[in-house]
Structure 1
């Protein structure tokens, strides 16, 4: 595709003079990142989606971060001391500034972590035993569950304390081998208390209402359109930042993103399966593991889905290999269990998925047999189930259509399609239990199997389908209490088996991503865990 390469080169030449794209109004090196998704939120107490994490991390650092090779390293923490029993972490902060000139202090973390609990933010549970296991956090979460007021005295008992302006002491209830990695996640980011309280309800709702202590300073943000950033001259690691401007083109359909890439207006553009054949032989084409597991959430309050044979029939009816290879064509892989490949490595140095069992299969004969058995147990000749999906979260529409076709081949099963938006899917239908089968996904917050398995705990706030198993909960509790890493790993694999044998969720595929990236661009760090992209080290060759 010589024509494409020539266009990209020409567009880049223009970009080097006036920024990337003639409408950017910037000068110097500009990297333009296209996204099919919008930025929903820049408040670390509320944000819960990957694109918001990308936008937030561009301008805010955590205690820990990633180096240019994607490995965990110190960020706002210059040094970390860990007690002999592994239950106390002392973070010594480096000299760093917010973009209003204030110093970043240990209290910025205390305030942020207390605030997410006061607000009962989407990731508040990550401070409890399902995440960082802070002392006192589970007690606060229990009060939330019981609709009790949270007092400042409750918050002060939580295991996070500023011993001085530059020292943060964190006490946890159990040893966590991946604790430092947790500290890269946005729900643990700092917030400048004075600035936040001055802005009130408008905090983090616009570019002028968010502060930076990261690689870039947000200059403009027009939801549904574009966000622009400039290099933060006061960033503690400013020498590592090679570009002058970062532009995020938001809510760009893949075809439009690819067209803009050809015209030099995008340096990075995700594309969908419809475009793969067109670009797959070009040097700009790349695929990689995105990290998301796409799966079916089943509502156990739906009488028909409370039947194990009906759930088994649904899983056996899905040809995952065909869907990923012939429909998506973007590097996605058929799911073999609820823990994706390339997520976590066990004490034996092997990937979790490589040593765990495979729980998915395609067999239409056995699927029909299971459904027939389920219908007999229910005392009916047929059932009707709703299949809910978001039309604005690609490739959910492709998945839903494929599933409808697959399920409709089963005699005695009728599928009603319920098309909606991602926001409505999650915050209305799933949270209120108004669904039967829901196409959903989960991106790992950290590199450990519990980031997925915790979703199935009886009291987990994201367990919308209300799956409950004392055997599963007990096995997860054993894993929490295990002092030996090998034994813990065994408990986690046993827990996954319990849930998958129950068809608690139905895993479908591990999402791959096909993208076009300017061949002169280097240093974009992608991780299938936590914040998807780190822009700090991006460079563009002259």
Structure 2
């Protein structure tokens, strides 16, 4: 059924002999302490769209499927499913599962949640449409949004046949559909509980409900969230660690110090700390899955000039940035779809099949800039470079790019510093930018998780790039059932946006972390929700 193979990483470590002192290890084997530079924005799976919130929601919620201890998609609330011959109807058979308040998890919990995210125009609502699961009538209902009547919402292709049977009808065959079901925007919600909470739902522990491994017990935004094992969880026997603590908004230096002092068991670090820790046995690197790139505002006359975009793309020494600055396992990007995301029906990685579209050439960069200056009738071109200071290593990337661009004669760079929330929801969403440092993490293991971003009507296409040829190709991809032909179409589609330089790819993000020796079973995946805590063990 799958177009490609999801590349996932299971973080494990050898158990130290005896109890360990320092290096994040401790004698308390009941609590796993996880440090993050980011905050939890909310606990409503139909609203949030950030990785840290997904980590927290995933800790307390299971979907139809989930990521198992090997990082593979496995049955969760759905114990099994049947697929129609045409691949467009899935019938899920739910297991006996309960919410933490004792209510049964039913098929209606999924129906309610899926309708809710569409009607409320959640940030990930598009994932129910042809930008993701291709659920019947999802796109049409998204056009109506809050104006959709109950009768109209009932036409969404998700039906509770009975409490234990959920039927999902698709408009197009989706090869990665069961992988998608492990993503938070498809998670169930208890209608009675959510409606009782109203606008408070997902804002405090008492306004959350669990059907997963843990329950949220305390939450101080910007500080710490605490979870305890959910004794009503259907797979409680597998959960070996009683408590989970998330230390929030800890900059990497503070997190590393807390790790050294035995106050946390896991902490991601940035490039400035790699040299200090790289030879220690608690140091690890892995593929984080994010592509860091430049988004360009095509409504701006300067960057709408193709020669300006070419100059920026050629001016970046990506290899130097990754190997000598980031030093965390990051790799130079060569296209808009990163490597190790998915493989073709013939078993080849997308990047091995596709061309290399960006490279470093200072001489060419200057030639393109000179051509741009001539076309624009100016001696100096000014670029405003927007970036978030709370999105490590976004600040490092921005500073490096400033240095790279400033080497070009006749190019001036204004640095526009802000924070992630302002960058996305104010600046980008309102088109108030020229060039922005941004990133995208794959929601599922298929090239379309990136390619969809460049379609004219995609809600994340903040740069307003548009191409009739590209849109037509993406529409073909949605409808193509022959997996080999579909793969070839995706390669053609990437070529269109890379030839246009709709985006300027910079690097594929690796990550460096410190993990205590007595920790095993923490699952980190580069696709979907970053971390799974269910299998963590402390010895």
> In the TM superposition, what are the counterparts of 1:208-287 in structure 2 within 5 Å?
208-287=206-285
- CA displacement, residues 89-143 of structure 1 (integer Å, 9 cap, x when unaligned): 0111100010000000000000000000111000011111111111111111223
Give the Cα–Cα distance (whole angstroms) in 2 for the partners of residues 467 and 252 of structure 1: 36
> In the TM superposition, what are the counterparts of 1:340-359 in structure 2 within 5 Å?
340-359=338-357
Aligned residue number for residue 132 of structure 1: 133
Aligned residue number for residue 476 of structure 2: 478
Aligned residue number for residue 50 of structure 1: 51
> In the TM superposition, what are the counterparts of 1:62-77 in structure 2 within 5 Å?
62-77=63-78
- Does the residue aligned with 1:306 lie in a helix, a strand or coil? coil
Aligned residue number for residue 113 of structure 2: 112
- Does the residue aligned with 2:20 lie in a helix, a strand or coil? helix
- Does the residue aligned with 1:305 lie in a helix, a strand or coil? coil
Native 8 Å contact 1:7 1:262 kept in 2: no
- Does the residue aligned with 1:374 lie in a helix, a strand or coil? helix
Any unmatched runs of 5+ in structure 1?
A: 20-27
CA distance change for structure 1 residues 218 and 237 in 2, over 3 Å: closer, same or farther?
A: same
Aligned residue number for residue 318 of structure 1: 316
Q: 1:536 aligns with which of 530, 534, 537?
A: 534
Aligned residue number for residue 407 of structure 1: 405
Deviation (angstroms), 1:411: 1.4
Aligned residue number for residue 196 of structure 2: 198
- Does the residue aligned with 1:416 lie in a helix, a strand or coil? strand
CA distance change for structure 1 residues 14 and 283 in 2, over 3 Å: closer, same or farther?
A: closer
- Does the residue aligned with 1:9 lie in a helix, a strand or coil? coil
TM-score (norm 1): 0.95
Give the Cα–Cα distance (whole angstroms) in 2 for the partners of residues 182 and 116 of structure 1: 15
- CA displacement, residues 243-279 of structure 1 (integer Å, 9 cap, x when unaligned): 1111111111111111111121111011111111111
Aligned residue number for residue 91 of structure 2: 90
Native 8 Å contact 2:19 2:26 kept in 1: no
| Cα RMSD, aligned residues only | 1.5
CA distance change for structure 1 residues 398 and 8 in 2, over 3 Å: closer, same or farther?
A: farther
Q: 2:389 aligns with which of 373, 388, 391?
A: 391
Aligned residue number for residue 9 of structure 1: 20
Native 8 Å contact 1:9 1:264 kept in 2: no
Native 8 Å contact 2:24 2:516 kept in 1: no
Deviation (angstroms), 1:343: 0.7
- CA displacement, residues 210-261 of structure 1 (integer Å, 9 cap, x when unaligned): 0000001111111111111111111111111111111111111111111111
Q: 1:421 aligns with which of 419, 422, 431?
A: 419
Higher mean displacement: 476-485 or 501-510: 476-485
Aligned residue number for residue 491 of structure 1: 489
Aligned residue number for residue 142 of structure 2: 141
Aligned residue number for residue 382 of structure 1: 380
Any unmatched runs of 5+ in structure 2?
A: 1-15
Native 8 Å contact 2:292 2:508 kept in 1: yes
Native 8 Å contact 2:24 2:265 kept in 1: no
Aligned residue number for residue 40 of structure 1: 41
Give the Cα–Cα distance (whole angstroms) in 2 for the partners of residues 141 and 199 of structure 1: 24
Deviation (angstroms), 1:458: 0.5
- Does the residue aligned with 2:323 lie in a helix, a strand or coil? helix
Q: 2:166 aligns with which of 160, 163, 168?
A: 168
TM-score (norm 2): 0.95
- CA displacement, residues 490-529 of structure 1 (integer Å, 9 cap, x when unaligned): 0000100110010100000011110010111111111000
Q: 1:297 aligns with which of 291, 295, 298?
A: 295
CA distance change for structure 1 residues 425 and 6 in 2, over 3 Å: closer, same or farther?
A: farther
Native 8 Å contact 2:25 2:265 kept in 1: no
Aligned residue number for residue 527 of structure 1: 525
Deviation (angstroms), 1:381: 2.2
Native 8 Å contact 1:196 1:203 kept in 2: yes
Aligned residue number for residue 438 of structure 2: 440
Deviation (angstroms), 1:8: 8.9
Give the Cα–Cα distance (whole angstroms) in 2 for the partners of residues 40 and 182 of structure 1: 22
Deviation (angstroms), 1:424: 0.5
- CA displacement, residues 183-222 of structure 1 (integer Å, 9 cap, x when unaligned): 0000000000111011111100011110000001111111
- Does the residue aligned with 1:84 lie in a helix, a strand or coil? coil
Instruction: Name which structure has the greater RCO, CA cutoff 8 Å, separation 6+.
Output: 2
- CA displacement, residues 447-501 of structure 1 (integer Å, 9 cap, x when unaligned): 0000000000000000000000111111111211212100100000010011001
